[in-house]
Amino acid sequence: MAMTPLDLESDKSLYEQVADRLENLIYEGTLKPGDRLPSVRKLREQLSVSISTVLEAYRVLEDRGMICARPQSGYYVRQTALQQPQEPATTDPPKRVYDIDNSLTFRLMHAIQDPKILKLGAAVPVAEHLPLTALNRLMGQVLRQHSAKAHSYDAPPGCIELRREVAKRMLTAGCSINPDQIVTTNGTFEAVYLSLRAVTQPGDTVAIESPTYYGLLEALEMLHLKVLELPTHPRDGLSLDDLETAMQRQQITACVLVSNFSNPLGTCMGDAKKKQLADLLERYDMPLIEDDIYGDLYFEGNRPKAIKAFDRSGRVLYCASCSKTLSPGMRVGWAIAGRYQAKVEQLKWVLNQTTAIAPQLTLAAFLANGGYDRHLRQLRRKYQMQTAQMTQAICDYFPAETKVTRPNGGHVLWLELPPEFDSIQLYEEALAQNISIAPGVIFSASSGYRNCFRLNCSLPWTDDVEQAMRTIGYLAKKQLAVTMLSQPF
């Protein structure tokens, strides 16, 4: 089994490169289920790496569910290594406009505030994955060095130190942005909310992905907007054909989507499709609100570009933050609103005048000192591994009919079971066991996706998490069995 030399210039560590190459050999069939892997010493000699590098690579493959260790025997390819659950198909929401009622979402979110609940349904990062010590230290420095400024108002467009750092970061998303084009906000949600207010009026209809993040549905309901849900593929996102049809019929005023690793499907549009979308916006004079909160959480290669990178006419209102990567509680985000910037700044001033300056200065300092990229590399590795572990657990414990998305970034999975399955019932039964999931109905204005639910992969893989997955799988199997027995023969 020959392996080419490792790339010493790669952003990936040596042990990750070793793990990836062995995983490729498994998928290619060179290493088959049941095969013994090279000994640690043999692989060390072949690749000219340390024993610890090989051991760490094997540990990664164990975590991914690809191999297992046998005492006194070595490492072997697992019999289930090539098991991959089927992916869901492109969604097919009803082709009609909906008013929104999110009372169920509020009840469900209120029910999981109990600290005893294992939150497998909440798409939030856990504290142990975040650089809280560094952020706390920087916050202390900010308060000491900028004591007066940190306690003052900061009128829109916001903290210049942060806007400069965000402008630099936008280069990785393919965008050349001047700091003066950026408006800081209280998180991504406020950026999206302000953008919606800037481009719509009550009663307008907005096109969205389906399923979509329930927080967006809440914002649309608050603004008395209607929605048109569009078919969405779990890999490359929203159907542009259906979007253009809605544009041609003048059914919609604006469109909102998550361009990279959407919540809950994990979709990521390719560059060609992003450019095609930007061209449609220009052709039909349509604003697009782009939520790119997950863009930094890619698993492989380079950061995917934003749709904003292809925007030549200022019709894309770009919204993002570091809430999913650094600190949900800092509540610092930004909007790059193009031709709508003056309106967004005015609305920001009317809504709450300012975003707290101390968190903005703290975030600016963290982005400036180079710690963010190092942190992101570690976080992406953890999320990729935990997503693989969660997928393997679904293969091991869930009904055979379960379909699961295969995102290349982010930290959520979307599961689809047979049409007769009821995720609300599963939610209630799991909650009785102190486990939360996010039932599919909260991700749609049409109350669809009752047979689907979302799981959060940001939790470190522990015995408690694995046991929770066993429990959810058991409850799902039991529900399907009861449903089958109740059907007439």
Per domain, the residue ranges of the chain are: 14-77, 97-101+131-371, 377-486
Residue 151: predicted pLDDT:
86
Residue 487: predicted pLDDT:
67
Residue 190: predicted pLDDT:
97
Nearest to 440 by CA among 196, 179, 158, 93: 93
Residue 292: predicted pLDDT:
98
Q: Which residues of 108-141 are buried (b: 16+ CB within 10 A; e: fewer)?
A: bbeebeeeebbbbbbbebeeebbbeebbeebbee
Write down the CATH number for the domain with range 14-77. 1.10.10.10
pTM, rounded to two decimals: 0.87
Fold of 377-486: Aspartate Aminotransferase, domain 1 (3.90.1150)
Residue 11: predicted pLDDT:
64
Task: List alpha helices for 48-186, DSSP H.
Answer: 51-63, 103-111, 132-145, 147-150, 160-170
* Residue matched to tokens 């994955």: 129
Residue 173: predicted pLDDT:
97
Residue 200: predicted pLDDT:
98
As a whole number of angstroms, the distance between CA 236 and CA 276 comes to: 13
Which class for 282: exposed (0-12), middle (13-18), buried (19 or more C-beta within 10 A)? Answer: middle
Q: Which residues of 1-19 are buried (b: 16+ CB within 10 A; e: fewer)?
A: eeeeebeeeeeebbbbbbb
As a whole number of angstroms, the distance between CA 404 and CA 120 comes to: 15
Residue 59: predicted pLDDT:
87
Task: Give tens-digit pLDDT for 101-157.
Answer: 666 777 677 767 788 999 999 888 999 999 999 999 999 999 999 888 888 888 899
Cβ atoms of residues 195 and 319 within 8 Å: yes
- How would DSSP label each residue in 287-314? -EEEE-TTTT-BSSSSPPPPGGGG-SSS
Q: Give the residue ranges of the chain where pLDDT is below 70.
A: 1-5, 9, 11, 80-83, 98, 100-103, 107, 111, 486-489
The phi, psi pair for 391, rounded to 5°, reads -65, -40
- The answer as to CATH 1.20.1090.10 being correct for domain 97-101+131-371 is no
As a whole number of angstroms, the distance between CA 247 and CA 285 comes to: 9
N- to C-terminal Cα distance for the chain?
Answer: 54
Neighbours of 356 (CB within 10 A): 18
Residue 120: predicted pLDDT:
95
